Structure 1
Amino acid sequence: MEREDILKSAISGDINAFQTLFAEFQNQLKSYLYRLLTDRNDVDDLTHDTFIKAFTKISTFNQDSSLKTWVFKIATNVAYDHLRKLRRWQVDAQDRGADLAIGSEEVRQAFWKVHDTSGAGAYEMKEHMDFCFTCISKTLPIENQVALMLKDIYDFQIKEICLILGKTEGVIKHLLNDARNVMTDTFENRCALINKNGVCHQCSHINEIFNPKQNQQEQLMKLELVKGSKKYNREELFTLRTLLVKAIDPLHASGTDLHEAIMKCVRTAIGEKSDFFDLNRNKTD
């Protein structure tokens, strides 16, 4: 069956046809929701809610955008409803998570258990840089974070983001500009890989813990971001970061389970969640 015919069937109420189309971008949708929510369980719940709401409203889809853009709009609204109940993260969220880990033998043992027993418990420095990007993006106002993720990580066009957020092109460009500036400033002040006077040494420190036999400098120099830190300006370095982040699926990477544990530690430390020690409650598909 041609894709156009599948879409017609879906719009007419064929749930199997809709599922076929939804599956084309489901992994990307879940990745996007994870970067907004930082909780696998919430991602699964909100992906399900998005599917149900989109299928329920499919007869109203007038095809003035792609089905993917239309579904992302619904998912974004669902995520907004969830995130409005929570405070935005402070820049020191990761520091507070690190303090919790350093001060608790139980937390450290939980990390090691995931690292030693999970097939997705490896530590990769580039994946931790992706983790940091997600954490720092959560310090932005929700609309800024959404605009940034949609444009710089998921390659939506400005006009598509206008439809998703219900804003004008000028507003979207303003949100993007502010988000990039704040992110760039934050990284410049914190990232020890780029600014050796930075206060955040998590990438190098955790790599040293979980990969003690790896040559630290060799690992650093494998990253284009570090290689380019001397010759690129700050805006270009931010672009390099986004390219690194775009290449990683936070739900299906080699260190997914370890970073989920670290993320739970951060959420626990800032008081957003209290489920850190329930590490094995759910696994990503």
Structure 2
Amino acid sequence: MTDARPLGADEATFIAAVRSDDATRFALVTERHRRELQVHCYRMLANYEDAQDLTQETFLRAWNKRESFKGNAALRTWLYRIATNACLDFLRKRNDRVPVLSELPDPGSELPYLQPYPDRMLPEDPQESVVARETIELAFIVAVQHLPPRQRAVFVLRDVLGWPASKAADALESTVASVTSALQRARVTMREQLPGRRLDWRSPATHELSSSERGAVKSYIDAHERNDLDALMSLLRDDLRFAMLPDPGTVTTTAEDAVDGWVSGGLFQPGHDDWRGIPTTVNRMPAAALYVRTPDDSEYRLFAVAALHIVDGKIAELTGFDATDKPWLDLPPAL
């Protein structure tokens, strides 16, 4: 696989590390690519912890294959190729990494393995396509999971990262014709999964939350802290889509069903009616970290993270995640 480019500093340093068998220099030059490779693995797998593991697997494979790097391609390209194939190998071995049909009149699907992505772990360069908000939001990540693994890889390489067909074909040891066909099929599926959503993934993207989004998060937290179900209902669109992960069977498609489910499950009832919250972001989406204090406790304990998709000031989608035992979310465990 080749890029029509002169040997760069990264590549020269990497080759020198290989020739000297210097693991420390190897780690220094590859480590700077960790964050973007981890986002790439996350798009392929929709799970933060799996993405961490596969990024580490990528570096292990790169070290083991270091003699094969001749500088004919950019080091970044070479690492993406290894990461993509590591994810495909992982998916071939796992039969639990496909969307599960939910038991709804309007069939949707659930991803019990979906995890949020902490914004602090995104690459720092706001110009990088890997951090475009539209391609890291949960709805996009879920839609990508509906693609068969090879189509998924082609779609991410071509339409998210903007690789030419020949480069993607080399990475996947395929042909340009095969890659082009896979991309066409993938785009059809993505349009089916994201009706009405933005489908031009490579045009200029937003990064900052709007004032409407920030206001909705504040109101959402306020409603919890006041234990005010009426105020909470007023924030939710009637056609709210809600899921609580990783619990199966929690998807609902109306605000009323969602609130009824929360109450019947014990939330906002004695013992689970003393809330605190802090605004945060995950997947470049507005989110609320919710803490609850039980009668026998002096502190508010981290309970869940609610990622919100807000339309015209109202919550259209709410994805809740169990936030306990997830230090990588970088949230205080207690308030």
Q: TM-score, normalised by structure 1?
A: 0.58
Letter in 1 for 2:16: S
Q: 1:96-151: CA deviations, max 9, x gaps?
A: 659x9xxxxxxxxxxxxx9xxx997xxxxx67982101101101111111111111
Letter in 1 for 2:51: V
* Contact kept in structure 1, 2:11 and 2:74, CA below 8 Å: no
Q: Choose which of 190, 197, 200 in structure 2 pairs with 1:183.
A: 190
SS of structure 2 residue aligned to 1:166: coil
**What is the CA–CA distance in structure 1 between the aligned matches of 2:159 and 2:197, rounded to whole Å?**
23
Please state how far the C-alpha of 1:262 moved relative to its aligned partner.
6.2
RMSD, matched Cα? 4.3
Structure 1 unaligned residues grouped into runs of 5+? 101-113, 121-125, 195-205, 217-249, 264-275
Structure 2 unaligned residues grouped into runs of 5+? 1-7, 121-132, 200-212, 221-234, 236-280, 290-303, 308-320, 331-335
* Contact kept in structure 2, 1:65 and 1:160, CA below 8 Å: no
Distance verdict in 2 for CA 1:211–1:91, change over 3 Å: farther
Letter in 1 for 2:141: T
**What is the CA–CA distance in structure 2 between the aligned matches of 1:10 and 1:251, rounded to whole Å?**
36
* Contact kept in structure 1, 2:100 and 2:110, CA below 8 Å: no
User: Could you tell me which residue of structure 1 aligns to residue 180 of structure 2?
Assistant: 173
Equivalenced residue count is 204
Identity %: 21
Q: TM-score, normalised by structure 2?
A: 0.50
SS of structure 2 residue aligned to 1:283: helix
* Contact kept in structure 1, 2:165 and 2:179, CA below 8 Å: yes
* Contact kept in structure 2, 1:50 and 1:75, CA below 8 Å: yes
Letter in 1 for 2:29: L
**What is the CA–CA distance in structure 1 between the aligned matches of 2:72 and 2:144, rounded to whole Å?**
30
Select the structure that is richer in strand. 2
User: Could you tell me which residue of structure 1 aligns to residue 154 of structure 2?
Assistant: 147
Please state how far the C-alpha of 1:212 moved relative to its aligned partner.
3.6
Please state how far the C-alpha of 1:47 moved relative to its aligned partner.
1.0
* 2:130 aligned with 1:134: no
User: Could you tell me which residue of structure 1 aligns to residue 23 of structure 2?
Assistant: 15
Distance verdict in 2 for CA 1:252–1:180, change over 3 Å: closer
Q: Choose which of 321, 324, 328 in structure 2 pairs with 1:279.
A: 324
Q: Choose which of 24, 37, 57 in structure 1 pairs with 2:45.
A: 37
* 2:109 aligned with 1:64: no
State which structure, 1 or 2, has the greater radius of gyration over its C-alpha atoms: 2
Select the structure that is richer in helix. 1
**What is the CA–CA distance in structure 2 between the aligned matches of 1:160 and 1:10, rounded to whole Å?**
26
- Per chain length, whose mean CA-contact separation is higher, i.e. which structure has more relative contact order (CA < 8 Å, sep 6+)? 1
